[in-house]
Amino acid sequence: MAAAPASGTGSAPRRSGHACGGAAGAAMDWERARSTARDGAGAPLPAVARPLADALGHALAAPLTALADLPSFDTSAMDGWAVAGPGPWRLRGGGILAGDRPEPLAYGTAVPIATGAPVPAGASAVLRREHGEAGESGGLLSDRSGGTGSPVPGRDVRPRGQECRAGDALLPAGTTVTAGVLGLAAAAGYDRLAVHRRPRVELLLLGDELLESGTPGDGRVRDALGPLLAPWLRAVGAEVVGRRAVPDGLGLLRAAVRDSAADVVITTGGTAGPVDFLHDALDGVGARLLVDGVAVRPGHPMLLAELPPAADGRARRLVGLPGNPLAAVAGTATLAVPLLRRLGGHADAPPLRTVCAAPLPGHARDTRLLPVRRAGDGVVPLPFDGPAMLRGLACADGLAVVPPGGTDTGAAVEVLAAPGP
């Protein structure tokens, strides 16, 4: 299917009789479109219990609270000796390693101890190895650190509960489970986490001109969006359950949309122009359009629709992306990412704002999403930023949200994350 021009010029007029579309109207403001995508998601998907190894990338469905004190016992912060009272100290035989259950330490005595080992009852501090000196016979230990001759009580001991107490709230619901969150959850005593189910996504790549492999030519182009979108969608919390090419044709597209079992169907191409089958297909399945065109360049012919529920009653949505690659990226950032993050239960992150280290060119009337890279204390625009180009995006650190008319050097600008991971 021919790629929709990012500017929207040359698009076929909207059919006024469409139940899902209605008469043509002004394109929706970019920020309003993003809010509509978030709000159109409704409630996050249900909570499920996952082993720690399977929870990465999900969002917490409940606050993470500590199941035990951290640490759960007084712990040595250094290799050295546990000491009781002022020195010098009589050395006790053996030593204490991590995992041991030491006997109480008598006043005036010391015992070797390893980092992370439990501090015995009766110990007042830990004397670091580099600060201690044992007599030739090994009978007495002295503090040679140059201080008072004895470490301050509590020195180099991590007291029980220093990080948290059992029942303390560690992280709120909606937190994305990262590697760091998994480590904290394990330390706090968790084997499984309550997380929101990932939204299942199916990619429908529309058009007769798409090649799955080989060199483009003779009117055929390589599918760039399948390889680009699938890992990006996974990185924002989706489960990509299918990716298939759909040849041009209303019946094939209508059937693919109607029969998809995914929570979110994402189509590429066919949102405008002479082979716009998508609006007719949405009409044919009884969809309701929530967004039909956004005042953003590139990518303004994007759309968002509410599909009829699945056979099991699950709500379904469809995001229609333009076919030009950078325009499709703009549509994904505008509609698909907010929708998927809300469905997955992820908390909204505050916008990332930075300054322009050079002027950022804008569109005369609409918001522009512009590939930029970091330079010095701000961001600068990249070349090869046309709606059908990906060369600039491949070098980008993010997409600057440029207001109509552009920005000057030193102005503040919001920057969206570039496609990941």
Averages of pLDDT over each 10 residues, the chain, 421 residues:
35 39 68 96 95 96 97 96 94 91 95 97 96 80 80 95 96 97 96 98 88 79 89 96 92 95 94 82 97 96 96 95 95 97 95 96 97 95 93 96 97 94 77
**How far is Cα 407 from Cα 357, in angstroms, rounded to an integer?**
10
Our CA angle for 13, 14, 20, nearest 5°, is: 170
DSSP 335: I
For 307, the 3-state DSSP assignment is strand
pLDDT of residue 270: 81
Q: Residue 331: name the closest of 375, 260, 266 by CA.
A: 266
Cis peptide before 298 (omega within 30 of 0): yes
Phi then psi for residue 36, to 5 deg, are -65, -40
pLDDT of residue 147: 65
pTM of structure? 0.86
Q: Residue 354: name the closest of 391, 295, 402, 288 by CA.
A: 402
Cis peptide before 421 (omega within 30 of 0): yes
- Which tokens hold the place of 192? 């499984």
Contact 163, 70 (CB under 8 A): yes
Give the β-pairing of 192-196 and 47-51.
Answer: antiparallel
pLDDT of residue 137: 61
Q: Helix, strand, coil shares of the chain as percentages rounded to 5? A: 20, 30, 50
Alpha-carbon distance values, 361 to 157, 383, 390 (Å):
57, 11, 18
pLDDT of residue 17: 37
